[in-house]
Structure 1
């Protein structure tokens, strides 16, 4: 039997082979024909996406293409107008069904999210920000929560900032604290909505390094990003969206280096020729 340390190439990254073999075939998230409308304006138009356990999917495309709106459907921060969504075998939306409050609590424990803005509580320290969700959402004791918080701060390289308030942390440090806070609920899947867009390149690099580590550990992730090199190296698949539609989906090298669709070609030529 293969050692647990054996790694294989999955898309553009290396991952644990035993993890891949044990999870083959398990669908964690399945969106079918999802549409979102704001009044008469349809911003997401019948988009499909199936994500398997341990897979990393990057969503790219021009601003206003519906990427972030589509992403938010996966934890129901944005209710779809139509279509179906299943998370870990549980139907969230479909056949006229809408989630109850208890459904949403379970969903958001399974699906963590990090935004462009960090949304940390300014009056709490880094470790207190991470403690809070565990105590209120998971019912952990303060001691249990604190132990887990410190483990996660160490994981994102910020153990020394535990007692520091967000205003005294850089933007990259705040985003890493936000990632640790989301991980504290032990989610099955993480959503990232352009997590480096508000950061300069050096600080953004810190955040991307944490996300690379998460991908390597087998975390299931859907990432809306403009970081093309990161998407190519880390994602298993890339979805290109434009005008609310999924124009092209495939392996990173195919989509980024040999796109089939003219709309994808046009977008990438403008990105890479800058």
Structure 2
């Protein structure tokens, strides 16, 4: 059960896990002691994060805190210097072992990602961008891929833009097409790296609405974001990162309204006092 602020109350957590999108105690993704270094510079420092199936975790923090770098470790776009990542009980990323191309393909089918930039092919229409991912990565027939693409464009509210190229779409529409493309691979978890940072508030609202729908449908999500209202109302937990470390992790209202760590308090005071 959620209170009027959209926050799951502690006494009702078990009940909420049964009813809210199928969330429960099953851990889908488990990052242990994840670190990333570039030469002598350590940008992610021994970060742990377990994400339950159907859970939404928002990661907040100042620029340069290691949020995006940590997120990219989940699909090996950023190889960790140390640590492991387990998906459904199977170790899929181990800093001591380079995964094969086949292993990477399997991992990235399970974990979809949307970036700050949309990364759509400019010479393809919206529906063709979504088709391509399915045909090339999943081996779907063009007919089946097209049916799935149209279904997803309808889901993100862009069925009418199917035959439109990205340059003739707004930034918010392009980001929604990118989300549909990621969903076309039927991932078990979605990663979002500041998906609204390049958008004005009105267009960003369109993207956040799609993400809320995904969360309500039970999609497991990790979201690096500066959208505090989204983090408070949609996330099940919030992790605050600073200086490469996971400083605080808890339910949204606790982290945002009653932070324990002094570094979290300082960051949020600047955010809410603007």
TM-score, normalized by the shorter chain, greater than 0.5 = yes
Q: Shorter-normalised TM-score: what interval? A: over 0.9
TM-score (norm 2): 0.93
How far the C-alpha of 1:21 sits from its partner, in A, is 8.7
Match runs of 1:35-114 below 5 Å: 35-94=35-94, 96-114=96-114
What per-residue deviation string (whole Å, max 9, x for no partner) do you get for residues 97-149 of structure 1? 33211110000000000000000000000000000010011110000000000
CA contact (8 A) 1:92 1:98 kept: no
Q: Distance in 2 between matches of 1:41 and 1:134?
A: 38
How far the C-alpha of 1:88 sits from its partner, in A, is 2.0
Match runs of 1:114-263 below 5 Å: 114-263=114-263
CA contact (8 A) 1:240 1:247 kept: yes
CA contact (8 A) 1:114 1:191 kept: yes
Q: Distance in 1 between matches of 2:172 and 2:129?
A: 16
CA contact (8 A) 1:16 1:216 kept: no
CA contact (8 A) 2:56 2:222 kept: yes
Q: Distance in 2 between matches of 1:122 and 1:99?
A: 31
How far the C-alpha of 1:211 sits from its partner, in A, is 0.2
- Is 2:15 the partner of 1:12? no
Task: Name whichever of 69-78 and 86-95 sits farther off.
Answer: 86-95
CA contact (8 A) 2:18 2:24 kept: no
Secondary structure in 1 matching 2:140: coil
How far the C-alpha of 1:95 sits from its partner, in A, is 7.2
Distance 1:95 1:152, change over 3 A: closer
Q: Distance in 1 between matches of 2:82 and 2:148?
A: 39
Q: Which runs of 5+ in 1 are unaligned?
A: 1-7
How far the C-alpha of 1:93 sits from its partner, in A, is 2.5
How far the C-alpha of 1:9 sits from its partner, in A, is 3.7
TM-score (norm 1): 0.93
What per-residue deviation string (whole Å, max 9, x for no partner) do you get for residues 162-203 of structure 1? 000000000000000000000000000000000000000000
What per-residue deviation string (whole Å, max 9, x for no partner) do you get for residues 219-269 of structure 1? 000000000000000000000000000000000000000000000000000
The size of the alignment, in residue pairs, is 267
What per-residue deviation string (whole Å, max 9, x for no partner) do you get for residues 15-52 of structure 1? 98656596522111000110000111000000000001
Q: Distance in 2 between matches of 1:68 and 1:35?
A: 13
Q: Which runs of 5+ in 2 are unaligned?
A: 9-14
What's 1:3 paired with?
A: none
Q: Distance in 2 between matches of 1:263 and 1:40?
A: 24
Secondary structure in 2 matching 1:105: helix
Q: Distance in 2 between matches of 1:210 and 1:181?
A: 13
CA contact (8 A) 2:82 2:95 kept: no
Secondary structure in 1 matching 2:175: helix
Secondary structure in 2 matching 1:42: strand
